[in-house]
Amino acid sequence: MMISTERLKLCLFIFLIFFLYDYAYSNEYPIVFDDSDVPFNFNYEVRIYTSREKCTDPKASPVRYQVYSKHTLLKISDMAYPPTSLWGKVVQGKIDRSLCSPGKFSDGQVRFQLKPNLFGEKRIVIVVANSENLSLSMGGWKVWYSLIHTIISSYASKLPVTLMALNEDHRLDFVVQSEDLIHMHRSYRLTNPYPQLTRQIKSRITMDQQITHPMKSLYAVHDYFKKNIQKVIYITDQSNVPDIKHMQLNPNYAKIPLHWNNNGILLNIITNGKCHSWKKVHATCYETDTLRISMLKNILHNAHFQ
């Protein structure tokens, strides 16, 4: 019995679909961790990303993840994700326990050599309120310049500095940390040695919002870092910071600063307002009306090394 041409084409098409499906899922490469300097820990999770940008973005979703142990078995399809473009890191909750590292494709395996967060788990946290009162008209570009300088000098000095942006509704966003410069391209321009760093800071430190209750917003910092804080440098305006009488009526505003003070965590405030409320909670506070470059650089430097 002769098979019709149309039926033959249909059979060949179905065969081709099964062939491609089998090919795609049979070409899975194992992921191996070579002589990792990050100790295995069942409380840690290893995550695999398709680019360094996604690996360093706290909001990005990994393409693979699993408990980080010596028994970790991860495979990835070369049809879906090129094995030469993968990046990985180890995390514990919201805290990175390793730097983002590129995978190397060799002998049919994607091999990672993970490095720990070299500058320390206890972070020096710089928080910038994205307030319109710190906008360009009040020297916002000087804030950018000082932050760029501070991150570069912190990297050179191996200080564990993390820069965060405080947005409306007490929302805290990651900007950059000093260790990230390890993987950033360094240009020959003295005025802009790390273009990617400049872009990240300018795009995320926008200073175009209305931040209410800057002191109360420190809850977001505490919830993000938990016990992994060495000191906090908070650049903010004075909008709605409660006065002393209000603080006595509503101690919740002062709860986090006082908690930090009791636990040896230094709180340094840089504000274009008044310091009396911040001093009430034992913070070291600096007043500045113009946000001059030299003043900010000196304040940040002293806050780091005091």
* pLDDT single digits (tens) 56-69: 888 899 998 888 88
For 187-243, the pLDDT digits (tens) are: 888 888 999 999 999 999 988 888 777 788 899 999 888 888 989 999 888 665 655
Q: Give the integer Cα–Cα distance in Å for 98 and 121.
A: 10
State yes or no: pLDDT of 46 exceeds 80.
yes
Asked if the model's pLDDT at residue 137 lies above 70, the reply is no
Contact 78, 72 (CB under 8 A): no
Measured CA distances, 294 to 19, 145, 153 (Å): 66, 10, 15
Q: Which architecture does CATH list for 123-305?
A: 3-Layer(aba) Sandwich (3.40)
Instruction: Give residue limits of the domains in the chain.
Output: 27-112, 123-305
